[in-house]
Amino acid sequence: MRNVFMFNTNFTPLAGVLGIGYFLHPVAVPICRNNLIQQNNERDLSWGYIMVFISYIVIGVFGYFGFSGIYFT
């Protein structure tokens, strides 16, 4: 039988991810403001969010498979 914890007191790895997320979101505004071709801001920002989403999905999937082996049951 396997136990899955919904809450854990060890939140330090999550704090690092959230800290980077809170740091990078406000950085997008000056980047868009200083863009040479202002018409491409929506496209560039959309691509940025899509690429971050894909990287989170890839890391999440590989992390899930990495910690679901026989040594972690």
For 58-69, write each residue's pLDDT tens digit.
Answer: 888 887 777 776
* pLDDT surpasses 60 at 73: no
Q: What is the pLDDT of residue 11?
A: 67
Confidence at 26, pLDDT banded by 50, 70, 90: confident
Query: What is the pLDDT at residue 55?
Result: 85
Quick one: average pLDDT of 44-53? 87
Give the global pTM: 0.58
pLDDT over threshold 70, residue 71: no
Contacts of 35 (CB under 8 A, 6+ apart): 41, 44
44 closest CA partner among 57, 54, 33, 55: 33
